[in-house]
Amino acid sequence: MSNGQNGAELRLVTPGMAIGPLAGKRVGSGTIAQNDTIIATRLGWTKEFNNTVSVDPINSAYMPRSGDLIVAVVAEVRNNLWFMNVNGPFQGLLPMSLAPWKVEFGAARQHMGIGDVVLARVQEVDECHNVVLTMKGVGLRRLTQGTTVSVPINHIERLRGEGNATVQRLRDAADSRIIIGENGRVWIDGNAEGTAWARQAIALAEASGHKTTFEAELSALEQNAPKKGDA
Amino acid sequence: MGGYGDVRLLREDGLRLDGRKLDEMRPMTIEAGVLPAADGSAMVTHGLNVAVAAVYGPMEAHPRKIQRQDRAVIDVRYNMAPFSTSDRIRPGFNRRSREISKVTAEALESVVLCERYPRSKIRVEIEILAAEAGTRCAGLTAAAVALADAGIPMRDLIVGVASGKVEGIVVLDLDKAEDNYGQADLPVGILPNTGEIAFLQMDGDLSPDEYNLAMEYNFKAAAEIHEIMVDALKRRYEGGEN
Protein backbone atom coordinates (compact mmCIF):
# COMPACT_ATOMS: atom_id res chain seq x y z
CA MET A 1 0.00 0.00 0.00
CA SER A 2 2.89 2.28 0.65
CA ASN A 3 4.01 2.01 -2.97
CA GLY A 4 3.73 5.35 -4.66
CA GLN A 5 2.79 7.05 -1.44
CA ASN A 6 4.07 10.59 -1.64
CA GLY A 7 3.75 12.65 1.44
CA ALA A 8 0.15 12.04 2.50
CA GLU A 9 -0.29 10.82 6.03
CA LEU A 10 -1.19 7.12 5.99
CA ARG A 11 -4.07 6.68 8.38
CA LEU A 12 -7.20 4.70 8.99
CA VAL A 13 -10.30 6.67 8.12
CA THR A 14 -13.99 5.97 8.59
CA PRO A 15 -16.86 7.13 6.36
CA GLY A 16 -17.49 10.84 6.66
CA MET A 17 -14.07 11.64 8.07
CA ALA A 18 -12.24 14.61 6.54
CA ILE A 19 -8.97 13.52 4.94
CA GLY A 20 -7.73 17.02 4.17
CA PRO A 21 -8.32 20.12 2.06
CA LEU A 22 -8.98 19.65 -1.64
CA ALA A 23 -6.24 22.19 -2.55
CA GLY A 24 -5.91 21.15 -6.17
CA LYS A 25 -5.82 17.45 -5.41
CA ARG A 26 -8.00 14.97 -7.24
CA VAL A 27 -10.44 12.72 -5.43
CA GLY A 28 -9.87 9.04 -6.07
CA SER A 29 -11.82 5.94 -5.15
CA GLY A 30 -13.29 5.82 -1.67
CA THR A 31 -13.45 9.61 -1.39
CA ILE A 32 -15.72 12.50 -2.31
CA ALA A 33 -15.19 16.25 -2.34
CA GLN A 34 -17.45 18.31 -0.09
CA ASN A 35 -17.00 22.04 0.60
CA ASP A 36 -13.37 22.01 -0.58
CA THR A 37 -12.60 19.09 1.72
CA ILE A 38 -11.82 15.52 0.77
CA ILE A 39 -14.12 13.18 2.67
CA ALA A 40 -13.64 9.43 3.07
CA THR A 41 -16.59 7.29 2.03
CA ARG A 42 -15.15 3.99 3.17
CA LEU A 43 -13.38 2.42 6.08
CA GLY A 44 -9.80 2.06 4.96
CA TRP A 45 -6.34 3.50 4.62
CA THR A 46 -5.73 6.83 2.97
CA LYS A 47 -3.42 6.87 0.00
CA GLU A 48 -2.04 9.65 -2.17
CA PHE A 49 -0.56 8.91 -5.54
CA ASN A 50 -0.03 11.26 -8.48
CA ASN A 51 -1.87 14.05 -6.67
CA THR A 52 -4.92 11.79 -6.27
CA VAL A 53 -6.17 11.03 -2.78
CA SER A 54 -8.00 7.75 -2.34
CA VAL A 55 -8.95 5.27 0.34
CA ASP A 56 -7.91 1.64 0.13
CA PRO A 57 -10.95 -0.06 1.65
CA ILE A 58 -10.42 -2.73 4.29
CA ASN A 59 -13.53 -4.58 3.11
CA SER A 60 -15.31 -4.33 -0.19
CA ALA A 61 -17.44 -6.36 -2.53
CA TYR A 62 -15.92 -7.65 -5.76
CA MET A 63 -17.03 -5.50 -8.68
CA PRO A 64 -16.04 -7.27 -11.92
CA ARG A 65 -13.97 -5.40 -14.49
CA SER A 66 -13.31 -6.38 -18.04
CA GLY A 67 -10.25 -8.60 -18.32
CA ASP A 68 -10.30 -9.91 -14.72
CA LEU A 69 -9.15 -13.51 -14.30
CA ILE A 70 -11.60 -15.10 -11.89
CA VAL A 71 -12.50 -18.42 -10.31
CA ALA A 72 -16.25 -18.80 -10.87
CA VAL A 73 -18.75 -21.44 -9.78
CA VAL A 74 -21.66 -22.60 -11.94
CA ALA A 75 -24.87 -21.42 -10.27
CA GLU A 76 -27.48 -22.17 -12.96
CA VAL A 77 -27.52 -23.94 -16.30
CA ARG A 78 -29.78 -23.10 -19.24
CA ASN A 79 -29.96 -24.63 -22.70
CA ASN A 80 -27.36 -22.32 -24.17
CA LEU A 81 -25.61 -20.61 -21.27
CA TRP A 82 -24.39 -20.89 -17.72
CA PHE A 83 -24.96 -18.43 -14.89
CA MET A 84 -21.83 -18.22 -12.79
CA ASN A 85 -21.35 -17.12 -9.21
CA VAL A 86 -18.44 -14.68 -9.46
CA ASN A 87 -18.34 -13.84 -5.75
CA GLY A 88 -19.87 -10.45 -6.47
CA PRO A 89 -23.28 -8.83 -6.19
CA PHE A 90 -24.34 -10.16 -9.60
CA GLN A 91 -24.06 -13.46 -11.40
CA GLY A 92 -21.92 -13.63 -14.51
CA LEU A 93 -23.18 -15.11 -17.74
CA LEU A 94 -21.16 -17.56 -19.80
CA PRO A 95 -22.78 -18.11 -23.21
CA MET A 96 -22.06 -21.35 -25.01
CA SER A 97 -20.36 -19.37 -27.77
CA LEU A 98 -17.67 -18.33 -25.27
CA ALA A 99 -17.18 -21.81 -23.79
CA PRO A 100 -14.04 -23.71 -24.76
CA TRP A 101 -16.07 -26.56 -26.24
CA LYS A 102 -18.40 -26.85 -29.19
CA VAL A 103 -21.72 -26.94 -27.39
CA GLU A 104 -24.96 -27.95 -29.08
CA PHE A 105 -28.09 -26.06 -28.07
CA GLY A 106 -29.54 -27.92 -25.07
CA ALA A 107 -26.32 -29.73 -24.26
CA ALA A 108 -24.83 -27.22 -21.85
CA ARG A 109 -25.41 -29.57 -18.90
CA GLN A 110 -23.25 -32.23 -20.48
CA HIS A 111 -20.23 -29.96 -20.19
CA MET A 112 -20.75 -28.22 -16.83
CA GLY A 113 -23.27 -28.60 -14.06
CA ILE A 114 -24.18 -26.64 -10.96
CA GLY A 115 -21.26 -26.44 -8.54
CA ASP A 116 -18.53 -26.91 -11.15
CA VAL A 117 -15.62 -24.52 -10.75
CA VAL A 118 -14.01 -22.78 -13.72
CA LEU A 119 -11.18 -20.44 -14.43
CA ALA A 120 -12.66 -17.71 -16.60
CA ARG A 121 -12.05 -14.18 -17.67
CA VAL A 122 -14.47 -11.25 -17.54
CA GLN A 123 -15.26 -10.40 -21.16
CA GLU A 124 -17.56 -7.46 -20.65
CA VAL A 125 -19.34 -5.50 -17.93
CA ASP A 126 -22.00 -2.96 -18.81
CA GLU A 127 -23.28 -0.02 -16.79
CA CYS A 128 -26.09 -2.14 -15.37
CA HIS A 129 -23.56 -4.62 -13.99
CA ASN A 130 -24.40 -7.32 -16.53
CA VAL A 131 -21.29 -9.49 -16.57
CA VAL A 132 -20.29 -11.67 -19.52
CA LEU A 133 -17.54 -14.23 -18.98
CA THR A 134 -15.39 -16.08 -21.44
CA MET A 135 -13.49 -19.34 -21.24
CA LYS A 136 -11.81 -18.84 -24.57
CA GLY A 137 -8.20 -18.06 -23.85
CA VAL A 138 -4.95 -19.63 -22.78
CA GLY A 139 -5.31 -21.52 -19.49
CA LEU A 140 -9.02 -20.88 -19.08
CA ARG A 141 -10.65 -24.16 -18.21
CA ARG A 142 -12.89 -26.14 -15.96
CA LEU A 143 -11.07 -26.88 -12.69
CA THR A 144 -11.62 -30.57 -12.05
CA GLN A 145 -9.26 -31.00 -9.11
CA GLY A 146 -7.88 -29.02 -6.21
CA THR A 147 -9.76 -26.81 -3.81
CA THR A 148 -10.84 -23.18 -3.61
CA VAL A 149 -10.64 -20.80 -0.67
CA SER A 150 -11.94 -17.28 -0.38
CA VAL A 151 -10.01 -14.21 0.71
CA PRO A 152 -11.17 -10.60 0.99
CA ILE A 153 -10.50 -9.00 -2.37
CA ASN A 154 -8.51 -6.15 -0.85
CA HIS A 155 -5.98 -8.72 0.42
CA ILE A 156 -5.32 -10.11 -3.04
CA GLU A 157 -2.56 -7.67 -3.83
CA ARG A 158 -0.91 -8.55 -0.53
CA LEU A 159 -1.26 -12.25 -1.30
CA ARG A 160 0.29 -11.73 -4.74
CA GLY A 161 3.09 -9.53 -3.53
CA GLU A 162 5.39 -7.41 -5.65
CA GLY A 163 5.56 -9.01 -9.09
CA ASN A 164 3.77 -12.13 -7.78
CA ALA A 165 6.65 -12.76 -5.36
CA THR A 166 4.48 -13.76 -2.40
CA VAL A 167 2.27 -16.18 -4.31
CA GLN A 168 5.37 -17.71 -5.84
CA ARG A 169 6.74 -18.21 -2.33
CA LEU A 170 3.49 -19.95 -1.39
CA ARG A 171 3.63 -22.12 -4.52
CA ASP A 172 7.19 -23.16 -3.77
CA ALA A 173 6.60 -23.76 -0.06
CA ALA A 174 3.37 -25.67 -0.58
CA ASP A 175 4.63 -27.41 -3.73
CA SER A 176 1.18 -26.73 -5.18
CA ARG A 177 -0.38 -24.95 -8.09
CA ILE A 178 -2.04 -21.77 -6.81
CA ILE A 179 -4.12 -19.41 -8.92
CA ILE A 180 -5.47 -16.21 -7.39
CA GLY A 181 -8.70 -15.01 -8.95
CA GLU A 182 -9.36 -11.28 -8.97
CA ASN A 183 -12.70 -12.10 -7.36
CA GLY A 184 -11.14 -13.27 -4.10
CA ARG A 185 -11.20 -16.98 -4.82
CA VAL A 186 -7.93 -18.84 -4.71
CA TRP A 187 -7.54 -22.23 -6.38
CA ILE A 188 -5.01 -24.59 -4.79
CA ASP A 189 -3.98 -27.89 -6.31
CA GLY A 190 -1.37 -29.99 -4.57
CA ASN A 191 -0.91 -32.83 -2.14
CA ALA A 192 -2.82 -32.87 1.16
CA GLU A 193 -0.01 -31.37 3.27
CA GLY A 194 0.78 -28.70 0.72
CA THR A 195 -2.86 -27.74 0.35
CA ALA A 196 -3.32 -27.60 4.13
CA TRP A 197 -0.26 -25.39 4.48
CA ALA A 198 -1.40 -23.11 1.66
CA ARG A 199 -4.78 -22.78 3.36
CA GLN A 200 -3.00 -21.78 6.55
CA ALA A 201 -0.95 -19.20 4.71
CA ILE A 202 -4.04 -17.78 3.02
CA ALA A 203 -5.90 -17.69 6.33
CA LEU A 204 -2.95 -15.77 7.71
CA ALA A 205 -3.22 -13.32 4.84
CA GLU A 206 -6.92 -12.95 5.55
CA ALA A 207 -6.40 -12.33 9.27
CA SER A 208 -3.22 -10.27 9.13
CA GLY A 209 -2.95 -9.17 5.51
CA HIS A 210 -3.54 -5.56 6.48
CA LYS A 211 -1.05 -5.57 9.34
CA THR A 212 2.60 -4.63 9.34
CA THR A 213 3.40 -7.97 10.98
CA PHE A 214 2.15 -10.00 8.00
CA GLU A 215 5.53 -10.41 6.33
CA ALA A 216 7.19 -11.68 9.51
CA GLU A 217 4.30 -14.04 10.29
CA LEU A 218 4.42 -15.47 6.78
CA SER A 219 8.16 -16.04 7.02
CA ALA A 220 7.63 -17.87 10.32
CA LEU A 221 4.94 -20.01 8.75
CA GLU A 222 7.26 -20.87 5.88
CA GLN A 223 9.52 -22.61 8.40
CA ASN A 224 6.70 -25.11 8.96
CA ALA A 225 6.05 -25.72 5.28
CA PRO A 226 5.91 -29.41 4.28
CA LYS A 227 9.11 -30.66 2.70
CA LYS A 228 8.83 -31.44 -0.99
CA GLY A 229 8.01 -35.07 -1.67
CA ASP A 230 6.56 -35.59 1.84
CA ALA A 231 3.26 -36.84 0.44
CA MET B 1 -46.47 9.53 26.71
CA GLY B 2 -48.86 12.00 28.23
CA GLY B 3 -47.10 11.68 31.58
CA TYR B 4 -48.32 10.33 34.85
CA GLY B 5 -48.70 12.93 37.57
CA ASP B 6 -47.97 10.61 40.48
CA VAL B 7 -44.81 9.01 39.06
CA ARG B 8 -41.64 10.81 40.15
CA LEU B 9 -38.83 10.57 37.58
CA LEU B 10 -36.49 13.18 39.01
CA ARG B 11 -34.92 13.17 42.45
CA GLU B 12 -35.01 16.11 44.78
CA ASP B 13 -31.32 16.78 44.10
CA GLY B 14 -32.19 17.36 40.43
CA LEU B 15 -30.65 14.11 39.21
CA ARG B 16 -32.58 11.33 37.51
CA LEU B 17 -33.65 8.11 39.18
CA ASP B 18 -30.55 6.24 37.97
CA GLY B 19 -28.31 9.08 39.18
CA ARG B 20 -27.61 10.61 35.78
CA LYS B 21 -27.56 14.33 35.13
CA LEU B 22 -30.17 15.77 32.78
CA ASP B 23 -27.77 15.81 29.83
CA GLU B 24 -25.96 12.57 30.63
CA MET B 25 -26.08 9.51 28.43
CA ARG B 26 -26.28 5.92 29.60
CA PRO B 27 -22.98 4.05 29.24
CA MET B 28 -22.39 2.83 25.70
CA THR B 29 -20.03 0.30 24.14
CA ILE B 30 -19.70 -0.65 20.50
CA GLU B 31 -17.90 -3.61 18.98
CA ALA B 32 -17.47 -4.05 15.24
CA GLY B 33 -17.17 -7.36 13.41
CA VAL B 34 -18.95 -9.59 15.92
CA LEU B 35 -20.51 -11.95 13.35
CA PRO B 36 -18.03 -13.82 11.12
CA ALA B 37 -20.66 -14.94 8.61
CA ALA B 38 -21.84 -11.41 7.83
CA ASP B 39 -20.07 -9.03 5.46
CA GLY B 40 -20.14 -6.47 8.25
CA SER B 41 -21.54 -6.49 11.76
CA ALA B 42 -21.62 -4.59 15.02
CA MET B 43 -22.95 -4.88 18.53
CA VAL B 44 -24.08 -1.88 20.52
CA THR B 45 -24.79 -1.92 24.23
CA HIS B 46 -26.46 1.23 25.44
CA GLY B 47 -27.61 1.12 29.03
CA LEU B 48 -29.39 -2.21 29.20
CA ASN B 49 -30.07 -2.24 25.44
CA VAL B 50 -28.18 -4.76 23.36
CA ALA B 51 -28.50 -4.41 19.57
CA VAL B 52 -26.70 -6.51 16.98
CA ALA B 53 -26.64 -5.49 13.32
CA ALA B 54 -25.46 -7.58 10.40
CA VAL B 55 -24.96 -6.39 6.82
CA TYR B 56 -25.01 -8.67 3.79
CA GLY B 57 -24.28 -7.55 0.27
CA PRO B 58 -24.44 -5.72 -2.00
CA MET B 59 -26.19 -8.60 -3.72
CA GLU B 60 -28.58 -9.00 -6.61
CA ALA B 61 -31.98 -7.67 -5.53
CA HIS B 62 -34.67 -10.34 -5.43
CA PRO B 63 -37.52 -10.38 -6.26
CA ARG B 64 -36.76 -8.40 -9.40
CA LYS B 65 -39.66 -6.03 -8.85
CA ILE B 66 -37.74 -4.37 -5.97
CA GLN B 67 -34.73 -3.66 -8.20
CA ARG B 68 -33.99 -0.07 -9.09
CA GLN B 69 -32.06 0.43 -12.28
CA ASP B 70 -30.02 3.36 -11.01
CA ARG B 71 -29.34 2.51 -7.38
CA ALA B 72 -29.23 -0.10 -4.68
CA VAL B 73 -32.11 -0.69 -2.30
CA ILE B 74 -31.51 -1.04 1.41
CA ASP B 75 -33.57 -3.77 2.97
CA VAL B 76 -33.69 -3.36 6.74
CA ARG B 77 -35.24 -5.88 9.08
CA TYR B 78 -35.52 -4.70 12.69
CA ASN B 79 -36.59 -7.37 15.11
CA MET B 80 -36.86 -7.65 18.85
CA ALA B 81 -35.99 -11.05 20.24
CA PRO B 82 -38.80 -12.69 22.22
CA PHE B 83 -36.61 -12.60 25.33
CA SER B 84 -35.55 -8.96 24.92
CA THR B 85 -38.15 -7.61 27.35
CA SER B 86 -39.65 -8.84 30.61
CA ASP B 87 -42.90 -9.69 28.80
CA ARG B 88 -42.27 -12.22 26.04
CA ILE B 89 -42.62 -10.67 22.57
CA ARG B 90 -44.44 -12.70 19.98
CA PRO B 91 -41.83 -13.62 17.35
CA GLY B 92 -42.07 -12.17 13.89
CA PHE B 93 -42.88 -8.85 12.28
CA ASN B 94 -45.41 -6.54 13.85
CA ARG B 95 -46.57 -3.03 13.08
CA ARG B 96 -43.90 -1.42 15.23
CA SER B 97 -41.00 -3.41 13.77
CA ARG B 98 -42.23 -2.69 10.23
CA GLU B 99 -42.32 1.02 10.97
CA ILE B 100 -38.84 1.03 12.53
CA SER B 101 -37.46 -1.05 9.65
CA LYS B 102 -38.87 1.45 7.18
CA VAL B 103 -37.60 4.60 8.89
CA THR B 104 -34.19 3.02 9.51
CA ALA B 105 -33.90 2.05 5.83
CA GLU B 106 -34.81 5.59 4.77
CA ALA B 107 -32.27 7.06 7.19
CA LEU B 108 -29.53 4.74 5.93
CA GLU B 109 -30.42 5.45 2.28
CA SER B 110 -29.57 9.09 2.90
CA VAL B 111 -25.96 8.26 3.82
CA VAL B 112 -25.15 5.17 1.75
CA LEU B 113 -23.93 5.90 -1.79
CA CYS B 114 -26.63 3.67 -3.27
CA GLU B 115 -25.97 4.84 -6.82
CA ARG B 116 -22.71 2.87 -6.80
CA TYR B 117 -24.61 -0.42 -6.91
CA PRO B 118 -27.50 -0.26 -9.38
CA ARG B 119 -30.00 -3.14 -9.32
CA SER B 120 -28.59 -4.52 -6.11
CA LYS B 121 -29.70 -4.86 -2.53
CA ILE B 122 -27.93 -4.28 0.75
CA ARG B 123 -29.53 -6.33 3.50
CA VAL B 124 -29.33 -5.00 7.05
CA GLU B 125 -30.55 -7.18 9.89
CA ILE B 126 -31.00 -5.53 13.27
CA GLU B 127 -31.71 -7.81 16.18
CA ILE B 128 -32.53 -6.37 19.59
CA LEU B 129 -31.36 -8.87 22.18
CA ALA B 130 -32.23 -6.77 25.21
CA ALA B 131 -34.47 -3.71 25.32
CA GLU B 132 -34.61 -0.81 27.73
CA ALA B 133 -35.94 2.18 25.73
CA GLY B 134 -34.06 3.61 22.77
CA THR B 135 -33.76 0.40 20.76
CA ARG B 136 -34.38 2.10 17.40
CA CYS B 137 -31.48 4.47 18.10
CA ALA B 138 -29.20 1.65 19.26
CA GLY B 139 -30.22 -0.36 16.16
CA LEU B 140 -29.52 2.56 13.83
CA THR B 141 -26.10 3.15 15.37
CA ALA B 142 -25.27 -0.55 15.15
CA ALA B 143 -26.41 -0.63 11.49
CA ALA B 144 -24.17 2.34 10.61
CA VAL B 145 -21.11 0.68 12.15
CA ALA B 146 -21.96 -2.64 10.46
CA LEU B 147 -22.30 -0.90 7.07
CA ALA B 148 -18.91 0.77 7.50
CA ASP B 149 -17.44 -2.57 8.60
CA ALA B 150 -18.85 -4.18 5.44
CA GLY B 151 -17.04 -1.63 3.29
CA ILE B 152 -20.24 -0.06 1.97
CA PRO B 153 -19.47 3.47 0.73
CA MET B 154 -21.20 6.12 2.84
CA ARG B 155 -20.90 9.89 2.93
CA ASP B 156 -21.02 9.84 6.73
CA LEU B 157 -21.79 7.58 9.64
CA ILE B 158 -25.19 8.00 11.21
CA VAL B 159 -25.79 8.19 14.93
CA GLY B 160 -29.10 7.32 16.59
CA VAL B 161 -29.78 9.30 19.76
CA ALA B 162 -32.87 10.44 21.68
CA SER B 163 -33.92 13.12 24.13
CA GLY B 164 -37.25 13.61 25.83
CA LYS B 165 -39.18 15.36 28.54
CA VAL B 166 -39.93 14.12 32.04
CA GLU B 167 -41.73 16.12 34.70
CA GLY B 168 -41.63 19.10 32.33
CA ILE B 169 -37.84 19.00 32.06
CA VAL B 170 -35.85 18.06 28.96
CA VAL B 171 -33.49 15.14 29.48
CA LEU B 172 -31.08 13.24 27.28
CA ASP B 173 -31.37 9.53 26.52
CA LEU B 174 -34.53 8.28 28.22
CA ASP B 175 -34.40 5.04 30.14
CA LYS B 176 -37.35 2.65 30.42
CA ALA B 177 -39.21 4.44 33.21
CA GLU B 178 -38.68 7.84 31.60
CA ASP B 179 -39.83 6.49 28.24
CA ASN B 180 -42.94 4.90 29.73
CA TYR B 181 -43.96 7.70 32.08
CA GLY B 182 -42.34 10.75 30.45
CA GLN B 183 -44.09 13.43 28.42
CA ALA B 184 -42.11 13.39 25.17
CA ASP B 185 -39.53 11.40 23.23
CA LEU B 186 -37.45 12.79 20.36
CA PRO B 187 -35.31 10.15 18.62
CA VAL B 188 -33.12 11.48 15.80
CA GLY B 189 -30.54 10.15 13.37
CA ILE B 190 -27.66 12.62 13.09
CA LEU B 191 -24.81 12.73 10.58
CA PRO B 192 -22.07 13.81 12.97
CA ASN B 193 -19.63 15.27 10.46
CA THR B 194 -22.11 17.38 8.51
CA GLY B 195 -24.63 17.98 11.29
CA GLU B 196 -27.49 16.89 9.04
CA ILE B 197 -30.53 15.11 10.40
CA ALA B 198 -31.40 11.92 8.52
CA PHE B 199 -34.29 10.82 10.67
CA LEU B 200 -36.49 12.46 13.27
CA GLN B 201 -39.54 11.27 15.11
CA MET B 202 -41.39 12.88 17.99
CA ASP B 203 -43.77 11.33 20.42
CA GLY B 204 -45.54 13.69 22.84
CA ASP B 205 -45.32 17.46 22.98
CA LEU B 206 -42.35 19.80 23.19
CA SER B 207 -42.41 23.59 23.06
CA PRO B 208 -40.02 25.25 20.57
CA ASP B 209 -37.58 26.04 23.40
CA GLU B 210 -37.78 22.49 24.73
CA TYR B 211 -37.28 21.13 21.21
CA ASN B 212 -34.18 23.29 20.73
CA LEU B 213 -32.75 22.16 24.05
CA ALA B 214 -33.52 18.51 23.24
CA MET B 215 -31.76 18.87 19.88
CA GLU B 216 -28.80 20.52 21.59
CA TYR B 217 -28.55 17.52 23.91
CA ASN B 218 -28.91 15.17 20.93
CA PHE B 219 -26.12 16.82 18.95
CA LYS B 220 -23.84 16.79 22.00
CA ALA B 221 -24.52 13.09 22.57
CA ALA B 222 -24.13 12.33 18.85
CA ALA B 223 -20.58 13.69 18.94
CA GLU B 224 -19.79 11.42 21.90
CA ILE B 225 -21.34 8.37 20.25
CA HIS B 226 -19.55 9.12 16.98
CA GLU B 227 -16.23 8.94 18.80
CA ILE B 228 -17.19 5.55 20.23
CA MET B 229 -18.21 4.35 16.74
CA VAL B 230 -14.96 5.45 15.15
CA ASP B 231 -13.00 3.93 18.02
CA ALA B 232 -14.85 0.61 17.56
CA LEU B 233 -14.00 0.51 13.85
CA LYS B 234 -10.38 1.46 14.47
CA ARG B 235 -10.03 -1.09 17.27
CA ARG B 236 -11.19 -3.85 14.92
CA TYR B 237 -8.34 -3.12 12.56
CA GLU B 238 -5.79 -1.92 15.10
CA GLY B 239 -2.19 -2.66 14.25
CA GLY B 240 -3.28 -2.64 10.65
CA GLU B 241 -1.13 0.23 9.50
CA ASN B 242 0.45 -0.23 6.10
Domain contains B4? no
Q: Which of B113, B191, B194 sits opposite A41 (nearest CB)?
A: B113
pLDDT for residue A56: 87
| CATH fold match for the domains A12-57 and A69-143 | yes
Q: How far is A6 from chain B (nearest CA, A)?
A: 14
pLDDT tens-digit series, residues A156-186: 887 888 788 888 988 998 899 999 999 999 9
CA distance A215 to A204: 10
> Which residues of chain B have a CB within 8 Å of the CB of A17?
193, 230
Residue B23: inside a domain: no
Is B163 part of a structural domain of the chain?
yes
Question: Which chain B positions have a beta carbon within 8 Å of A43's beta carbon?
Answer: 148-149, 151, 233, 237
Which of B60, B157, B242 is the closest to A15 by Cβ?
Answer: B157
Q: Is B157 within the bounds of a domain?
A: yes
ipTM for the predicted complex comes to: 0.89
Q: Is there a domain that residue B13 lies in?
A: no
pLDDT > 90 in chain A, percent: 53
A15 with B151: Cβ contact below 8 A: no
Q: Is the dihedral of CA A44, A48, A50, A53 positive or negative?
A: positive
Per the structure, the complete domain to which residue B197 belongs is given by 28-236
- Phi and psi at A110, nearest 5°, equal -70, -20
The CATH T-level fold of domain A12-57 is OB fold (Dihydrolipoamide Acetyltransferase, E2P) (2.40.50)
CATH number at residue B58: 3.30.230.70
Q: What's the N-to-C CA distance of chain B in angstroms?
A: 52
Rounded CA separation B212/B232 (Å)? 30
Contact between A181 and A152 under an 8 Å Cβ cutoff? The reply is no
Task: Provide the whole-model pTM.
Answer: 0.86
Q: Which of B59, B154, B194 sits opposite A41 (nearest CB)?
A: B154
Q: A69-143, which class in CATH? A: mainly beta
Count of domains for chain B: 1
Enumerate residues 6+ apart whose C-beta is below 8 A from B107.
B140, B158, B189, B198, B199
Q: Mean per-residue pLDDT for A39-50?
A: 92
Provide the CATH topology of domain A147-223: Ribosomal Protein S8; Chain: A, domain 1 (3.30.1370)
Distance CA B120, CA A202 (A): 29
Q: Please answer yes or no on whether A90 and B120 come within 8 Å at the CB atom.
A: yes
User: Residue B11 in 3-state DSSP?
Assistant: coil
* Contact yes or no for B111 and A18 at CB 8 A: no
Q: Give me the mean pLDDT over the B101-111 stretch.
A: 97
The domains of chain A are located at 12-57, 69-143, 147-223
